[in-house]
Chain A
């Protein structure tokens, strides 16, 4: 089982991003996903900056993958996407079928990101035919769903053609909108957002009127209020999940990586901190703790 760092979901200043990836280079992580996946107005780093980081990480022995935008609306966003898809060097994670279209046209194999609706063996089989080499499960799927899917006879002959990856740590990306909720929280319109999300390196917490954390606002993205944490489920993932993904946090990401690695076979289980959840994997409501 390998470990990956998902793309940074929040809008961090360039220096902080670079610092984070210098730490990643020195860490025990196997795979690193780089790129802006939430909002195309966030331009602290451009593709060339990411490519520089990609080379630095590769030299440090990491496999690097460029992750792409999830909600693509404007023609300018498609042009930028094409530059990612045709970088000619690094593997690309498609977070919209538009990216799959571009990669497929070029005959380039790809990672299918968690926001692409692949829910069953027949969809997976079709995607493998298009060049999928790694499938990141939609966040709402459970262990049972994955087991059921992988046991279907119609994919046995291609089981060696793809890897499975699971987002197992971090606030879950749950929705994308035309509207920017961070701008709205500051009474700004999206057109006049002034990139105010840079002030919230962990997003803005939303609580219910009786104090439960329900969501985290991250620009046009809405995240889970609780942090997803499957550290204690790692032993059950053996043979089922090839890559375990951690979503970069404002603090403590690499400490958690160490804890995850230490509990690979259940040697060092952790009490789940308050504010963490693991429901989806256990076939419960996502916010639940099983």
Chain B
């Protein structure tokens, strides 16, 4: 069971490797990946450095090229695939069938993983993407554990699941909420609720967060103000004010580890390429310990209190959830 950690920079990548990641995933410095944030990600030179570092430590590098290509700048997505292969990527994480097709035809020997952005939530969809020779599917975070189990048992393809981090509550790659508010889409611009559209104001002692002018939330002085990701705002429905779509909280599947292991999930993905090297280091350390403990004695695995403590400290709103894995969340 692989521990796959995020890195938005070479220092974060080194932190992940040093603390026990089996593989690290990164993106290029442009809109070809779904974490296209200012100051984040690697250029061609850094990518080669990253691949070299990872390989010297006997680990693997995955490169996410998981947005959808624009008609006028298709070349950029092609170039991203070429660059990743040239740098020595062990796997490409792809979503656009055009990019998948290009990679499959041009570099048939380089492993292709189906990005969560392709939104393959069922066996027929997975079968569809087999035509591009994908060897692994990253499952969307909308599935319950029961549904993950059914897929693991019915599909003869490697499955990767999200284990920890920000929780997308919508089927990824088919969510247009961000572009509805801002004009910038995760699918084509590589960012959700982009920082350039965020504004903070203070009114009567309350802190207001806005996204492109739309009020996402108001915080009392004793409340922790979270980033205005639009699906985590507090809105009104018939006079009731609440987190209409989702609370600010992070996904945490530590307690599901034995079950995921039993179903043969090959990789646990940690979300957070936008996070600091220190964050990546702490998270990686905890998950390494957890996976090692599990592998030593799967039948008697117990979540250690100090792991949960560290993870809660690294979570949005200091809260964690099992998300869709647990039916009651739905």
Contacts and interface: CB of A to CB of B under 8 A. Distances in A.
**Nearest 9 pairs of A and B residues by beta carbon:** A98-B124, A122-B98, A178-B142, A286-B180, A178-B324, A119-B68, A190-B330, A101-B128, A149-B71
Contacts of B101: 122, 126
A75 B183 contact: no
B180 A224 contact: yes
Interface in A276-290: 279-280, 283-288
20 contacts: A71-B171, A73-B143, A77-B122, A97-B129, A98-B128, A117-B187, A119-B71, A121-B74, A122-B74, A139-B176, A148-B71, A175-B174, A175-B177, A176-B175, A178-B142, A204-B237, A205-B237, A206-B244, A209-B215, A286-B179
A120 B68 contact: yes
A181 interface: yes
A175 B215 contact: no
B183 A78 contact: no
Contact of B102 (A100, A122, A287, A288): A122
B170 A175 contact: yes
Interface residues on B, range: 35 or more
A126 B97 contact: yes
Contacts of B68: 117, 119-120, 123
A143 interface: no
Contact of B330 (A117, A118, A152, A191): A191
B125 A123 contact: no
Given A71-B142, A209-B236, A217-B237, A287 B177 contact: no
B252 interface: no
A72 B122 contact: yes
A191 B327 contact: yes
Contact of B187 (A140, A179, A208): A140
A189 B324 CA distance: 12
B175 A174 contact: yes
A177 interface: yes
Contacts of B4: none
Interface of A: 70-75, 77-78, 81, 96-102, 104, 115, 117-123, 126-127, 138-140, 145, 148-149, 152, 172, 174-181, 184-185, 189-191, 204-210, 212, 214-215, 217, 222, 224, 279-280, 283-288
Interface in B223-275: 231, 233-238, 240-241, 244-246
A71 B180 contact: no
B330 A207 contact: no
A178 B330 contact: yes
Contacts of B329: 178-179
B147 interface: yes
Q: Per DSSP, are chain A's interface residues mostly helix, strand or loop, or mixed?
A: mixed
Interface string B198-239: 000000000000001011111000000000000101111110
A78 B155 CA distance: 14
A174 B176 contact: yes
Interface stretch (B32-40, B113-121, B299-307): B113-121
Contacts of A179: 142, 169, 245-246, 324, 329-330
Contacts of B183: 279, 283-286, 288
Given A120-B98, A210-B215, A285-B183, A185 B71 contact: no
Contacts of B71: 119-121, 145, 148-149, 152
A217 B238 CA distance: 12
Given A101-B128, A149-B71, 11 more contacts: A78-B124, A81-B124, A115-B174, A119-B96, A122-B69, A178-B143, A179-B324, A185-B244, A190-B330, A215-B244, A286-B183
B328 interface: yes
A177 B180 contact: no
Contact of A222 (B188, B214, B236, B245): B245
Contacts of A98: 122-125, 127-128
Contacts of B324: 178-179
A74 B148 CA distance: 10
Contacts of A180: 330
Q: Which of A102, A145, A174, A204 has the most CB of B within 10 A?
A: A174
A115 B118 CA distance: 11
A285 B70 CA distance: 17
A172 B179 CA distance: 12
